[in-house]
A and B are shown apart, each in its own frame.
Chain A
Amino acid sequence: MKKVYKIEVDCANCANKMEDAAKKTPGVRDATVNFMTLKMTVDFEEGQDTAAVMRAVRENCKKVEEDCEIHL
């Protein structure tokens, strides 16, 4: 299942880092961050609690880039 989230991030490289961090989060099959439209598209694995997974994604993203936000 795919969902799109609005994000806030200042630099393009940080967006790439967020993408990597999101991809590595358990429960996420794939993730893309579009820096220009400030959107994160997350493809969840089957049967995952998307809200819980997204909280983990946000936490992981904050680790790699302090100054970022994902609007859940």
Chain B
Amino acid sequence: MNRKQKRMLARIVLAAALLVGLAFLPATGALRFALYLVPYLIVGHDILLRAAKGIRNRQVFDENFLMAVATLGALALAVYNELAGQEGDYLEAIAVMLFYQIGELFQSYAVGRSRRDIGALMDIRPDTANLERDGKLETVDPDEVPVGSVIVVRPGEKVPIDGVIIEGRSSLDTSALTGESVPWGAGVGDEAVSGCVNLSHVLKLRTTREFGESTVSKILDLVENASSRKSRSENFISRFARAYTPAVCCGAMALAVLPPLVRMVGLGLSPNWGDWLYRALTFLVISCPCALVISIPLTFFAGLGGASREGILVKGSNYLEMLSEADCVAFDKTGTLTRGVFEVVAVHPEKNPLRGAVGNPQRGPGVPDRQPAYTDRPVRGAVLVGCVGCSQAGASCAACDAKASLPVGGGKRGTLPGGPDEAALLHLAAHVERYSTHPIANSLRRAYPNEADDCTVEDVEELAGLGVRARVNGKLVCVGNAAFMDTLGAAWHPCARAGTIIHIAIDGEYAGHIVISDVMKPHAKEAVAALKAAGVKRAVMLTGDAPAAAEPIAAELGIEEFYAGLLPADKVAKVEELLAEKAGRKGRVCFVGDGINDAPVLSRADVGIAMGAIGSDAAIEAADVVLMDDDPLKIAKAIRLSRRCLGIVRQNIAFSLGVKLACLALGALGIANMWLAVFADVGVMVLAVLNAIRAMFRI
């Protein structure tokens, strides 16, 4: 509690104690009134003052003014009764003021608490950096550290600035950034992202960015500016609040004046002014829209906080709202559902022996670990069908029978499928691609580690649009696409395996091909299933790849609809088509991309979701939702979180409105008195606030 709240609490306690004391005091008449006025003023003097100021500033429908009118009116009625000879009920007016203040205090305390708690969920701001200068450590503001300086991060500290590790080895907790709870083991040469917490050992980093450009600043910026974009629910509530208070006041006016007049003139009964005035004052007590107005933004704030703890950053409550309505999700393939890293998935040598081309790779003297490591993970859905396409023109392809098409890497790491022919083919290809920086060359070299051996590789020549050729151990080896083979006159044939086919020819004779393909992310399939379970009716895959490459992946993932061969502009057009189909109907279109070249599509979709966006500024700019890690399961989680949040919003709206309207009705009928009214008002607010905080919890 802050000072203001403590003072308020003291006033409430003092007033309550005085009220209890007064109940036992035998005072009567004017003295009794004066005594009761003391707790009233103690607890409500600020309301009266603010009401007076409100009138001066022409803010008549200010809740302070309404509370002042309601309680003063109740006091006046009590005085009137006293003068009429009955005992006046002063207690009621004071209690209303007291409970109103208790409600306000609770609200301010609860909001302050959740502001801090939720703020802490989002707060990854490092306070200081340990800068090494002339061999000495200085603690400085992260803002003052220039690029390229050396900083030290001790265990328990946050990495303040993005940098490369130059000394030490430690595990880093990236959960604040990615929601990933398993620590990451980082060593020299690894890039440490700011915002991670160093868990075990001292690390020395060379900074690669300024603080303002570092990941942590970018994320903080995003989070802090979130929720300034308001959702439809919030706008509805603020519009409602603007109309509600005046409407209830007019109702109170009418209630005070009309029924007595009707009774007097129309029915010839006594007007009963006092009774109707009391009912009108009850109306005023319920007229404060606080419960509604506080609980809705609080729910969204808690929802945003809870999501950011899971590594899901949502840029505003409007996006949280739209996300909850999502029923069509379009995915980019590469980098979103697949890893975007090409790997060798099959090697199909021709039957003519290759062993003459290079030394037997498995028994290279003095080089123990020479086996190619394709991939240390089983290829997903590893039913690598035989090359049905290879039987083309009657030519039988030995490599394409079951033996050679064994699931690559299905066994233990380093085992070579199919025997030495495959290794030899890979060995040759890796040699030829030795100097190339093309992604395909990288994946070939990765599949055959320790490529640099005693083979002689000379005359390496890259032929644009075709491939690479080189002389390996005296033989001319050409590695490239089908067109390259055609220029050599090598008798190549296609392969049924999906992916990029790399053909290899030795001295102009076709030697076989290697299939390179993108690999699916571990949770991609579950992610699509989870989305469907979460109520997403339509999942669409958009890709720039050829249909032949896209189709098996879509089938594997359970995505019925896919569009292949799309340029970035085509993707925008496709998403616009999806949006147009939605026009006028419920539901929203999400687009999920890896954010590297999807920025236009991300901004075009109702909700653009960027994945693994750390370090990609364009994606953080363009996307509405940023998933900090690479796990596609988070998409469904984000939708589930948003649905729960919006569910709580609706509960709060229905509950607060329902109770208020019921109280108004009961008040008008004279069934609800002022006590009930103030309990309804404060109680509803307390319950709505507690319900709102639920949006922060984990699912």
Q: Please determine whether B50 and A13 come into contact, CB atoms closer than 8 angstroms.
A: no
Q: Which residues of A contact B298 (CB under 8 A)?
A: 12, 36
B59, B225, B294, B300: which contacts A11 (Cβ < 8 A)? B294
Number of interface residues of B (CB under 8 A): 31
Bound Cα distance A34, B238 (Å): 12
Q: Which residues of A contact B18 (CB under 8 A)?
A: none
29 A-B Cβ contacts within 8 A? A10-B108, A11-B104, A11-B108, A11-B290, A11-B293, A12-B293, A12-B297, A13-B288, A13-B289, A13-B290, A13-B294, A16-B241, A32-B228, A34-B228, A34-B297, A35-B111, A35-B294, A35-B297, A36-B111, A36-B115, A36-B297, A37-B227, A37-B228, A37-B301, A39-B224, A39-B228, A63-B59, A66-B54, A67-B50
Interface residues of B in 571-587 (CB under 8 A from A): none
B377 located at the interface, meaning its Cβ lies under 8 Å from any Cβ of chain A in the complex:
no
Q: Would you give the shortest CB distance from B240 to chain A, in whole angstroms?
A: 10
B53 located at the interface, meaning its Cβ lies under 8 Å from any Cβ of chain A in the complex:
yes
**Identity of the chain A residue whose Cβ is nearest the Cβ of B238 in the assembled complex:** A16
Which A positions have Cβ atoms within 8 angstroms of B? 4, 10-13, 16, 19-20, 32, 34-39, 41, 63-64, 66-67
Which B positions have Cβ atoms within 8 angstroms of A? 50, 53-54, 57, 59, 63, 104, 107-108, 111, 115, 118-119, 224-225, 227-230, 238, 241-242, 288-290, 293-294, 297-298, 300-301
Q: Which residues of A contact B242 (CB under 8 A)?
A: 16, 20
Q: Please determine whether A13 and B63 come into contact, CB atoms closer than 8 angstroms.
A: yes
Q: Please determine whether B301 and A36 come into contact, CB atoms closer than 8 angstroms.
A: yes
Bound Cα distance A46, B288 (Å): 38
Q: Which residues of B contact A12 (CB under 8 A)?
A: 111, 290, 293-294, 297-298
User: Which 8 pairs from chain A and chain B are nearest by CB?
Assistant: A36-B301, A12-B294, A12-B293, A13-B293, A63-B57, A16-B238, A34-B228, A32-B228
Q: Which residues of A contact B104 (CB under 8 A)?
A: 10-11
Bound Cα distance A28, B505 (Å): 71
Q: Please determine whether A64 and B59 come into contact, CB atoms closer than 8 angstroms.
A: yes
**Identity of the chain B residue whose Cβ is nearest the Cβ of A38 in the assembled complex:** B115
Q: Would you give the shortest CB distance from B106 to chain A, in whole angstroms?
A: 12
A13, A37, A39: which contacts B241 (Cβ < 8 A)? A13
Q: Would you give the shortest CB distance from B212 to chain A, in whole angstroms?
A: 16
Q: Which residues of A contact B225 (CB under 8 A)?
A: 4, 41
Bound Cα distance A35, B300 (Å): 11
Q: Which residues of B contact A16 (CB under 8 A)?
A: 238, 241-242, 293
Bound Cα distance A10, B101 (Å): 13
Bound Cα distance A35, B119 (Å): 13
Q: Which residues of B contact A11 (CB under 8 A)?
A: 104, 107-108, 290, 293-294
Name 7 extra pairs, CB < 8 A, besides A36-B227, A36-B298: A4-B225, A10-B108, A12-B111, A16-B238, A36-B111, A37-B115, A66-B53
Q: Please determine whether B57 and A64 come into contact, CB atoms closer than 8 angstroms.
A: yes
Q: Would you give the shortest CB distance from A70 to chain B, in whole angstroms?
A: 15
B50, B229, B230: which contacts A66 (Cβ < 8 A)? B50
When A64-B59, A66-B53 are in contact, do A37 and B294 touch as well, CB less than 8 Å? no
Q: Would you give the shortest CB distance from B412 to chain A, in whole angstroms?
A: 53
